[in-house]
Amino acid sequence: MPRAATTRRWWPTPRRACPRCSSTWSMSRAWPRSNPPDLTTTAGVQDAGSFPAFAIHRAKPLNSPTSPQIAETIMAEDSLTEHWVCLAGGNALGAFHLGAIEVLLDAGLPVRRVAGASIGAITAALWLGGPREMAKQRMRAFWARAVDRSVFAGTRPARQTSALRALLGGRPWLFNPTLPGIWAMHFLAPNDDHLHSTALMRQTLAELIDFDHLNNGETRLIISALDQETSEDVVFDSATTRLTVDHLMASSALPLIFPPVRLDGRLLVDAGLSANLPVTAIFSDPPERNTVCWAIDLWPPTARRAPSPDTVARRAQDLMFAAQSRHALERLTEALSPRLQDAGIGVAVHHLGYDGGDWEVAAKAFDYSRAALERRRRAGAAEMTRVLSGHAPLQGGGFSVFRHVLEN
């Protein structure tokens, strides 16, 4: 499969004129830690108007003018087909979700069910946790708080430093070092089971997400987590459970880095350790009509041979999560296809995903640099548009998987 055109790498400058309006933004401006603008309101969006390109133009559609026409064609051909979205975990790689979902929002494609793990669960809750017309604002507000605003963050050494800084020093409004934290490894220090506190993340999500809207909305949200003590997968479904910020914190509680979350008598950690792409969770209640599932992954299944320690470390992470996704889809195909064929129900899973190739650093999941987040967002938008434009109506019953993940 030919690789889509790569995103042009841009290098930050101290000030830059916006290509879509007359405003400019300053690379060095930062919110005071105690009083960030409220980006869930129109006034808050206007207050953030001089922020970097990643945090402005929230009310305007992405430059993908073909998306509405694509969606109109899909809905005309598949008027009785449901559309589901499945979002994988990957921490800072989740900016790819932002671009992909913006295309879905611009297209107006009706989505009936969404499942997410880790950052995928957070993205899904931001998407669905409020009025649809403000969904972009909520998602971009989250990433605007997370971004590393280092001026030279486009260079590889700077992105490696950005990832290391996040691992050791945290990210404003997401997580920060705690005590004893890393010092717990010293024999004189008290024990601790995590390096960072996620109180800031909890506060950020509570501010951005309307959980009443989320739980009462038409779109069903499924969040997955993992029981640290029994290794059992745990699934929370808005159809049967009132979802709260605790469920999001549990789904994204990466062991050692973040603290586990006790919920309903279980000690829960990041779902990505078991089912990073929660396709099993979203299909645990099989569809009753023709369904298209857009499964948005963050870890490439294929790559060239890794020639250096940095690329070996990066590829090891890819393999761990990509293999999970492949095995889960294979098991679902084997389990559901005969049953769906007998019922005359067709299911198509479009498995697309992000492949940053050699551009990404080993600790890419903690690279919150401006260049990395913007590159991933643009890649998500381009890939979602490409996959939507190639979608064909379902024919016949069964369970089919179409892999669109780019190869190196």
Q: Catalytic residue positions? A: 118, 270
Based on its alpha-carbon atoms, the radius of gyration of the chain, rounded to whole angstroms, reads 20
Cβ neighbours, 10 Å, residue 231:
9
Q: Please report, as a single letter, which amino acid is at residue 184.
A: A
Alpha carbon of residue 211 to chain centroid = 19
DSSP string, 260-312: -EEETTEEEE-THHHHSS-HHHHTSS--SS-EEEEEEESS-S------SHHHH
Q: What number of CA atoms fall less than 13 Å from residue 399's CA on the CB side?
A: 19
Cβ neighbours, 10 Å, residue 43:
10
Closest CA to 238 of 82, 129, 108, 86: 129
- What is the distance between the alpha carbons of residues 202 and 198, in angstroms, rounded to a whole number? 6
DSSP string, 224-265: EEEETTT--EEEEETTTS---HHHHHHHT--TBTS--EEETT
- What is the distance between the alpha carbons of residues 172 and 31, in angstroms, rounded to a whole number? 10
